[in-house]
Amino acid sequence: MLSPQHPRTEHLRRSRGAALVEMAVVTPMLILLVFGVIEATRMCMVAQLLTNAAREGCRVAVNNSTTSANVDARVKATLDASDTRIYPLITETLNYPNLSQARLNTPISLTLSVPFSSVDWLAPPFFFSSRTITATAVMLSQRP
For residue range 99-136, what is the model confidence (pLDDT) as tens digits?
878 888 889 999 999 998 888 887 776 777 788 999 99
| Domain range list for the chain | 7-140
Q: In what order do the strands lie in the sheet with 91-94?
A: 91-94, 107-115, 132-140
| CA nearest neighbour of 89 among 119, 110, 47 | 119
**Angle, CA of 46, 49 and 51, to the nearest 5°:** 110
> What's the pLDDT score for residue 8?
63
Say how many C-beta atoms besides its own lie within 10 A of residue 137's C-beta: 21
Cα–Cα distance for residue pair 31/26, rounded to 1 Å: 9
What's the pLDDT tens digit per position in 25-56?
999 999 989 988 888 898 999 999 999 999 99
Rounded to a whole number, what is the largest CA-CA distance in the chain?
Answer: 105
How far apart CA 19 and CA 13 sit, in angstroms, is 10
DSSP string computed for 74-116? HHHHHHHHTT---GGG-EEEES-SSGGG--TT-EEEEEEEEEG
